[in-house]
Amino acid sequence: MDKTVVIITGVGLAIGFAEALVYYNLGTNANRKGFKFGVPKGKELAKNLGVVLATSALTALISYQIEKSIEAKSAGKLIPVK
């Protein structure tokens, strides 16, 4: 596996989980007067992490494939040196 895929997945996981926590807290605090920050527990936490991990990995793999496709097309346009 290319290190770019690992980097993009890791960064996506961190940012995605932070975003998921924001939305989780907005939802759990929707009917409250005061805002209380919390982290989901148990199955709820596992579901959130699973979704974020899956989307982060998918983003990394798609980005990797696009990058390789662009590189291959660019390489085909180069004039060979004799």
| Per-residue model confidence as pLDDT tens digits over 48-71 | 999 999 999 899 889 888 888 888
CA distances from 20 to 5, 6, 65, 77 (A): 21, 20, 26, 43
Q: What is the pTM of this model?
A: 0.73
DSSP secondary structure letters along 25-79 = HHHHTTT-SS-------HHHHHHHHHHHHHHHHHHHHHHHHHHHHHHHHHHHTSP
Give every residue of the chain whose pLDDT is below 50, as ranges. Answer: none
Provide the residue type at 4 as one letter: T
